[in-house]
Amino acid sequence: PEECRVYEFAEACGKTASEVISVLFGLGMLVTKNDFLKQDELEILGEEFGIEVTVRDALEDVNYVEEYADEDIDETNYVTRPPVVTIMGHVDHGKTSLLDKIRSAKVASGEAGGITQHISAYTVDQNGQKITFVDTPGHAAFSAMRSRGADVTDIIIIVVAADDGVKPQTEEVISHAKASGCPIIVAVNKIDKESANMDMVKAQMAEREMTPVDWGGDVEFIGVSALNGTGIDDLLENILIQSEMLELKADPTAKVKGAVVESLLEKGRGPVATIIVQNGTLKVGDNIVCDTTYGRVKAITNDQGKPVKELGLSETGNVLGLNDVPVSGAVMVAQDSEKEAREIATTRAEHARAKELSKSTKVTLEEMSGLI
Q: What angle do helix axes 232-246 and 95-106 make, rounded to 10 degrees?
A: 90
101 is in an annotated binding site: no
- Whether the Cβ atoms of residue 243 and residue 155 lie closer than 8 Å to each other: yes
How far apart are CB 48 and ligand GDP at their closest, in Å? 59
Among 32, 63, 80, 96, binds ligand GDP (CB under 6 A): 96
Query: Rule CB under 6 A: is residue 105 a binding residue for ligand GDP?
Result: no
Which range touches ligand GDP (CB under 6 A), out of 51-59, 86-94, 204-212, 303-311?
Answer: 86-94
Among 33, 167, 178, 193, binds ligand GDP (CB under 6 A): 193
93 is in an annotated binding site: yes
138 is in an annotated binding site: yes
Residues near 262 by beta carbon (within 8 Å), at least 6 away in sequence: 120, 121, 137, 273, 274, 328
- Whether the Cβ atoms of residue 131 and residue 158 lie closer than 8 Å to each other: no
> Toward ligand GDP, which CB reaches closer, 94 or 326?
94
Which range touches ligand GDP (CB under 6 A), out of 4-12, 84-92, 205-213, 262-270?
Answer: 84-92
The residue among 303, 309, 319 whose CA lies nearest residue 330 is: 319
230 is in an annotated binding site: no
> Toward Mg ion, which CB reaches closer, 157 or 320?
157
Which range touches ligand GDP (CB under 6 A), out of 47-55, 169-177, 224-232, 359-367?
Answer: 224-232
- Output the CA–CA distances (angstroms, integers) from residue 136 to 40, 91, 202, 233, 306, in the order listed: 42, 12, 24, 22, 23
**Could you give the count of Cα atoms lying within 13 Å of 252 in the half-sphere of its Cβ?**
11
Cα separation of 187 and 238, whole Å?
11
Cα separation of 257 and 280, whole Å?
6
Q: Restricting to residues 23-52, name those near ligand GDP by CB under 6 A.
A: none
Query: Rule CB under 6 A: is residue 257 a binding residue for ligand GDP?
Result: no
How far apart are CB 227 and ligand GDP at their closest, in Å? 4
Cα separation of 143 and 141, whole Å?
5
Among 91, 179, 241, 352, binds ligand GDP (CB under 6 A): 91
Query: Rule CB under 6 A: is residue 89 a binding residue for ligand GDP?
Result: yes
Among 136, 225, 238, 263, binds ligand GDP (CB under 6 A): 225
Query: End-to-end distance of the chain based on CA atoms, in angstroms?
Result: 32
- Whether the Cβ atoms of residue 229 and residue 222 lie closer than 8 Å to each other: no
- Output the CA–CA distances (angstroms, integers) from residue 268 to 127, 164, 240, 265, in the order listed: 38, 43, 39, 9
Among 95, 103, 255, 257, binds ligand GDP (CB under 6 A): 95
Which range touches ligand GDP (CB under 6 A), out of 68-76, 186-194, 249-257, 291-299?
Answer: 186-194
The residue among 315, 278, 85 whose CA lies nearest residue 177 is: 85
x/- site string to Mg ion, residues 64 to 103, per CB under 5 A?
A: -------------------------------xx-------
Cα separation of 332 and 275, whole Å?
8
189 is in an annotated binding site: yes
190 is in an annotated binding site: yes
132 is in an annotated binding site: no
Q: Which position's Cβ is nearest Mg ion?
A: 96
Contact residues for Mg ion (CB under 5 A)? 95-96
| Residues engaged in binding ligand GDP (CB under 6 A) | 89, 91-97, 189-190, 192-193, 225-227
Point out the annotated binding site: 89-96, 135-139, 189-192
